[in-house]
Structures are given as structure tokens and as C-alpha cells.
Amino acid sequence: MEEQRQKELEGLCRQLGMEMKDLHLLDMALTHTSYAYESKKNPRPQHNQRLEFLGDSVLSLVVSTHIYKTCPQMDEGELSKLRAFLVCEETLAQLATENHLGDHLLWAKGKSTWNGEENPSILADAFESVLGAYYLDQGFARVTGLLNRLLISRIPELTADGIDRDYKTRLQEVVQKDGPAEILYDQVSAEGPQPQPDLCDACPGERERIGQSREDQKRGGTACRKGSAESPPVKKVL
């Protein structure tokens, strides 16, 4: 590792209140896949996807344990909703921004239009990757302490305006409260790059994957526009 990069990462550790024996783990956590694939170094730098996978699990366990212990009045569904809010992309990107993780990210020069320092998805992934790196280097107790400082202690502040920011999910819950129903969406406008349709295997040629949560995307799950063949849905046009 170059001396300048080492000093940069040491400064980030001091800022976050972390001690790390292996800074290469932190360097990997802040290396986007595009940078690794573009690099002409041999061997190529390791990117952060595997650390993100690990950090996602660590984050979920720490948050789940905390809210289970501190929210005895909540049932399983309410706990799941709160956890989903606390570990969602928007929350994690906010924490990453506040702690300047974007300033230390490495990504491809050809992807400069991504604005990696401001891209919520890249920032959220980087936050989880740092958790994964810190867990491997220092263990579960230390990463729990870090999350207590960065996230857990701020739960009252983060939830002050409510946790139902996903208006689409709220709409679906209201419409389907009396049983299965088909929701027909009419696109009014679109901005930014358009994703390619991802067809559901169970419904070839007919149904597209629609909006998914961060957890659904990691599981590779799909959501169909139509109900099952066994129980035809009631159509409700909004």
C-alpha cells in the first residue's frame, strides 16, 4: 500500500474511533468493483463486494439484537419494519456521507459521472463493507461498539419523522388489506438511466420485477405484478 493511502486510511480510522491491525482490509472495503476491474496492476486490487456481504449480516444482527431487547412492545412485523428502515440504503448512505466515506472511495476514472461520493447505493455498500472489514480485524464486540456510536445511539433522531418513507409499500398495504389485489402502475415520467427489465422466472414473457427492497435484491427475489393462478387477484386501478 502506498504511504499516502496508508496515512489517509489511518486518518479515517481516527475519525471513526477505530483501531485496525490490517489496513488492507479497510482499503479493500473502500475499493469499488469498477476500480478493481479497470486497474492494470497485477494482481488486481480486491474489491469490496465480499466485505459488503459480510458487513450486511453483521449490521442486521447488531440492529436486530438491539431492537429486540429495547422494543418489547413490538411484534415481529413491527420489528422487521424498524430494522428495514435502519438498514435501508437511504439511512446507510446518510451515515456514510456524515462520516465522509465517499472521500476515501476508489472507483474507475471512466465512471467519474457516477459521483461515487454522492451515489447512495455506492455509499451504502461502502458503509457495510467497512463494517465487514472491521469485524474481521477486531471482532464482533468492537464492531458493535462502532455501530452503537454511529447508528444505534441515533435511532430516536433517525426515526423522529417516522419510518414509513416507502410510500409504495404503504400504498400496497392499504390496497391489499382486504385480500390479494392487482395494482396497475402508470408511469408519468422518468429521470436518469433506465434499468433493464428483469423478467420473473415464474411468469415468463408477462411480468416484470417491480420495486424491491434492499433485502429482496440481496436475496435475488422477485415480485410480480399479477397474483397467483390459484387465486385470481381483484383489479384495482389507481
Please state, in angstroms and rounded to a whole number, the distance separating the CA atoms of residues 166 and 215.
14
The CA angle 55-58-60, to the nearest 5 degrees, is 105
Does residue 169 form part of some domain?
no
Q: Which of 27, 52, 125, 128 is catalytic?
A: 128
Contacts of 197 (CB under 8 A, 6+ apart): 208, 209
For the whole model, what pTM was predicted?
0.70
Per-residue pLDDT of the chain (238 residues; tens, 9 = 90+): 889 999 999 999 999 999 999 999 999 999 999 888 887 777 778 999 999 999 999 999 999 999 999 999 999 999 999 999 999 999 999 999 999 999 999 988 655 555 555 789 999 999 999 999 999 999 999 999 999 999 999 999 999 888 876 567 677 777 877 788 888 888 888 876 665 554 444 444 433 333 444 555 555 544 433 344 444 444 444 5
Please state, in angstroms and rounded to a whole number, the distance separating the CA atoms of residues 181 and 197.
22
Does residue 118 form part of some domain?
yes
Cβ–Cβ under 8 Å, residues 68 and 87: no
In this structure, the answer to whether residues 179 and 152 fall within a common structural domain is no
Q: Which of 27, 52, 56, 125 is catalytic?
A: 56
Does 178 qualify as catalytic in the annotation? no
Does 56 qualify as catalytic in the annotation? yes
The grid coordinates listed for 216 are 429482496
Does residue 41 form part of some domain?
yes
In this structure, the answer to whether residues 144 and 197 fall within a common structural domain is no
